[in-house]
Amino acid sequence: MTKSELIEKLAARQTQLSLKDVELVVKCILEHMAQSLAKGERIEIRGFGSFSLHYRAPRVGRNPKTGQSVELEGKYVPHFKPGKELRERVNSALEENG
Amino acid sequence: MALTKADMAERLFEDLGLNKREAKEMVEGFYEEIRDSLANNRQVKLSGFGNFDLRDKKQRPGRNPKTGEEIPISARRVVTFRPGQKLKARVEAYAGSKQQ
């Protein structure tokens, strides 16, 4: 499912908002999530999962083209941990349908 | 303080002028549709943010860490999140300079 399919499905759930409105809704939610992570704040959605930042230690990398080594600084990367309901629904789908 | 669904609904109310009920339903629906797609074994791609992918894991040998007893870890399907370039760059830039 892509972002535009998600927008269509969300729009079909209700009658008050236009497709254009729902598009703004989805953009607003994603932007809010990205902003939180960018300032180091966690996201917790019960039944879905949580997003947090994981630290990656500094390391010596290599430019794959030239083979030259480069010092890479430590950095943070986004991490998602699925919640219980999501884990169970995804996994039971596997058990039922193989 | 972690970001929650209530915070997201509040933002929809403030920035887009949705009423509180609509805002709550939209946030609820957003996560429900993503869950449904994944439960139906369909990957979710949100450009600019990231992809939720599915991986089928085979059964593998495991161990009870307390007792040391060997017990197989059953075959399962798991969700993984791959952040997009844009999100990675935003997180790296800010959190990296802020906390290090």
Contact B48 A48 (CB under 8 A): no
Hey, what are A34's tokens?
């990205």
Taking CA–CA distances from A34, the nearest residue in chain B reads B87
A-B C-beta contacts closer than 8 Å = 168
pTM attached to this predicted model? 0.89
pLDDT tens track for B79-100: 999 999 999 999 987 655 544 4
Q: What digits encode the pLDDT tens for the residues A19-78?
A: 999 999 999 999 999 999 999 999 999 999 999 999 998 999 998 999 899 998 889 999
Residue-level pLDDT at B83: 98
Rounded to two decimals, the ipTM of the complex is: 0.90
Number of Cβ within 10 Å of residue B85's Cβ equals 9
Is A88 an 8 Å CB contact of chain B? no
Query: Residue A59 — left, alpha, or beta (φ > 0 → left; ψ -120 to 50 → alpha)?
Result: beta
Contact B37 A1 (CB under 8 A): yes
